[in-house]
């Protein structure tokens, strides 16, 4: 019961599909509200999730950045669109027909962006450090052609966006592994309990069979049945011991992963317990 309460109290890790649906809905809502910059940022965040069509998400982000440029006539949004297209092209291979078609799409997109920027002074009109601004969220962006003048100006976006995102992914992976191992451990301990119950039933039958007066002889059928009960009881004892060892190790590992996410004041210990007819595990919490 205590283990079940611990599992219910632990929050389940967010699924990538649910996160993708949330970002897609957010991006569409921003687009409908003509908040094109926020829509583009949502689509770029969507492109970093597993199982998502990266080219589709980034092309939608590019469309929203073009829309932001058309509505505000601010050069930075067209520059962001160009950097996004260049970054995706740099990370698109050319080893099959589908990827070559995607490269052709991004090459044409870059040419169109440069054509629009030509009237504003070309690519030179873009700020040199704009691709590294916090909040740009353009994944797969190539490094700028001109090195920044100072080291402190080089990587502010990576320090702000990259590290927390990586730490969050590691925390989610640790939590998912801890929950999975804890669930498997609880299941194995439950199977151990069932094996111990069967072992106890067989042991009691054998004890009752031995409590007979001297000289009593069982019929052949009952003696064969008692032999099968003895063999089953011996097998259940071995199964219970194996399940207890494996289940205890798995459960301890899962609880350790969950408990290591942050330090808490409570201390817990998983201790073996033995009785005359079997054994088990006791989860002790110290308050």
- 213 with 257, same domain: the answer is yes
Contacts of 133 (CB under 8 A, 6+ apart): 156, 157
- 223 with 266, same domain: the answer is yes
Span 157-200, pLDDT tens digits: 333 344 456 667 777 887 888 888 888 988 888 898 888 888 88
Task: Please report the pLDDT score of residue 234 as a whole number.
Answer: 86
- 134 with 248, same domain: the answer is no
- 20 with 135, same domain: the answer is yes
Range of the domain at 196: 171-286
Task: Please report the pLDDT score of residue 1 as a whole number.
Answer: 41
The residue out of 126, 161, 196 marking a domain boundary is 161
- 189 with 103, same domain: the answer is no
Span 53-66, pLDDT tens digits: 999 999 999 999 99
Is 3 domain-assigned?
no
The residue out of 130, 161, 192 marking a domain boundary is 161
pLDDT, greater one: 280 or 80: 80
Please give the average per-residue pLDDT across 194-219, as a whole number: 73
Is 134 domain-assigned?
yes
Q: What is the pTM of this model?
A: 0.43
* C-alpha to C-alpha distance for 79 and 122, rounded to whole angstroms: 10
- 134 with 198, same domain: the answer is no
CB 157 within 8 A of CB 132: yes
CB 57 within 8 A of CB 46: yes
Q: Which helix (H) or strand (E) holds 110?
A: helix 97-118
pLDDT over 60 at 142, yes or no: no
- 102 with 139, same domain: the answer is yes
């Amino acid at each position: 019961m205590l283990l079940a309460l611990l599992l219910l109290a632990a929050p389940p890790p967010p699924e990538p599909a649910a996160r993708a649906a949330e970002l897609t809905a957010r991006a569409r809502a921003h687009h409908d509200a003509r908040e094109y910059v926020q829509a583009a940022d949502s689509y770029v965040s969507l492109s970093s999730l597993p199982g998502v069509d990266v080219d589709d998400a980034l092309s939608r982000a590019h469309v929203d950045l073009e829309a932001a440029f058309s509505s505000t006539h601010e050069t930075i949004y067209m520059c962001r669109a160009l950097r996004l297209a260049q970054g995706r092209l740099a990370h698109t291979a050319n080893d099959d027909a589908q990827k070559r078609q995607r490269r052709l799409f991004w090459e044409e997109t870059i040419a169109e962006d440069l054509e629009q920027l030509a009237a504003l002074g070309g690519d030179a009109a873009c700020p040199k450090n704009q691709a590294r601004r916090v909040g740009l969220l353009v994944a797969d962006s190539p490094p700028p052609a001109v090195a920044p003048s100072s080291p402190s100006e080089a990587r502010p976006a990576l320090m702000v966006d990259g590290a927390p995102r990586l730490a969050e992914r590691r925390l989610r992976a640790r939590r998912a592994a801890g929950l999975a191992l804890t669930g498997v451990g609880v299941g194995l301990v439950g199977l151990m309990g069932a094996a111990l119950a069967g072992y106890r039933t067989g042991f009691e039958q054998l004890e009752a069979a031995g409590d007979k007066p001297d000289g009593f002889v069982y019929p052949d059928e009952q003696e064969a049945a008692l032999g099968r009960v003895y063999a089953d009881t011996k097998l259940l004892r071995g199964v219970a011991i194996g399940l207890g060892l494996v289940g205890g190790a798995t459960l301890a590992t899962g609880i350790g992963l969950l408990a290591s996410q942050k330090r808490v004041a409570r201390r817990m210990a998983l201790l073996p317990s033995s009785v005359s007819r079997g054994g088990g595990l006791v989860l002790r919490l110290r308050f």
